[in-house]
Structure 1
Amino acid sequence: MQIRSLGLKIGFSIALFLGFVAVTELSAASVTADDFKAILDHDSAHLLKQLKDGSPDKKGIIQSKATAMLIAMYAQKQMDGKDKTRDQQLATLRDNAVKVAEAVSSKKYKDAVEAAKLLSLKTAANPSAKTEAIDLSKLAKFEMFELMSPLKKTSGGGLNLESDLKEMADKLKDASKVPGLAARILTIAEYTENMPTDTGSGKKSVANWKKYAKMMKDAADEVYEGSKAAKPDLKKLQTSLGKLNASCTECHNVFKN
């Protein structure tokens, strides 16, 4: 009886531990539906602007493809299996975003414009769209220099993410723009984890690449979660933004040199 009791206690303890691990792994902040819609509306408009009615310049080609792939990931990450109808719509949005990127890769810019016009939650769901997650990093011949292009300044066609991050990390008076920044960088970090460089040796190893990508992702998640508090603590949030900025700098110090 004592052995059985001990076994039950151990089993119960293990179950509690595994439950704790599962909760910990799932505790990462999820982008709210409202933030997702705001980002989608802004970035889809930015995408169409970069495509210039089917005659994009060199910067526009890079930026439109990157923005489309970010939108695809935003949509996929919103699918949670709780609402089949919504997931179907999100899967359709994701697939249309990939079509934009693939059309840009094939230099079919007019086709890209038509697909970009469908990047809205008002677009009817495609009943054949698959709601399972797919590895987006393997599609549309998506490359690292394209992924990082939204970090560039607005004047260069980017989303100004790097400049905004540095500014917020240095001085933060208002948290209203932080969720959008964090959500976008979080998405870039998720792609980065799956798009390692091919150097594979020394400090520039794939293991280090993934380590820095995870640092960026964790820091972006911390920023987003802090920004969604009922009353964000601006001092703590600024510290988290500094940590996120530092994660980018540390990675650049290794992989851009």
Structure 2
Amino acid sequence: MTKPSVDSAKATFDIWYDARNKHLPSSKQDSLWTIVSGLREKVIIQRIKFVESYPDAYISLYLFKKDVIKGYHPISPERLNIIYNKLSNNLKETDLGKSVNKYIQKQLSLTVGHILPNFSFSTDKGQHFEVPLSFKNKKLILLCFWSKGCAPCIRKIPTLKILNEKYESKGLRLISISTDLTADIWLNSLNKYQMPWLQTCDLPAYVQGDKIQNILDVTSFPQYFLIDGTGKLVYQNTELNDDEDLSMLQKLLENQLL
């Protein structure tokens, strides 16, 4: 059912990866990545159809976790919960079924309207902060997850610069959280892109305890979490399916800060 789409996605991904390594124009890279994303989404839709068609089969539960929950294409927690509830009670009572339910409930707790877990970090300049405790004087805090190798993340940096310039004095605090694998890669990127707001990297030298990426279960990039001074989530770009220009975020900031 899915092999043709899986094979096509892999082949296109290989072409995109080669184009990125050869530093071909970003427009070509973006076009290839759009194809990859579309094929991956098609695979997930087919997987979901299989799971819902065979709610009593253990393989359905296995594929639900492996390819739908942990797949490349993000699915909203509400949608995951709906799919899970279509599985038989026998499957839900298995160890795998219980662990899947536990994961989904955690995801639901990270959706808009809920208080996010607290975390702390150090910046590239040696400053230490706790979220949200250190920012009680701010109306809103925007957490920006990114990495050097994420083309969509890099494309949005100009938009973030505009938001920071326009709303910082109105009560917005931006915090970029890099998921680069080494501090050198991250610091070189900071020098290149010059982002004049708080910067940290999800590495032990800058984050104590569990990674922030794990705390908020960030699996795709870029991701943006907008919280208020109490830590309540008021916006999340993938949950709300915001567009490339972050139009929903921009409208929300305009309504709340101007």
Q: Same fold (TM over 0.5)?
A: no
Which category describes the TM-score, using the shorter chain as reference length? under 0.3
Relative to total residues, which structure has the larger strand share, 1 or 2?
2
Give the TM-score taking structure 1 as reference length.
0.24
Relative to total residues, which structure has the larger helix share, 1 or 2?
1
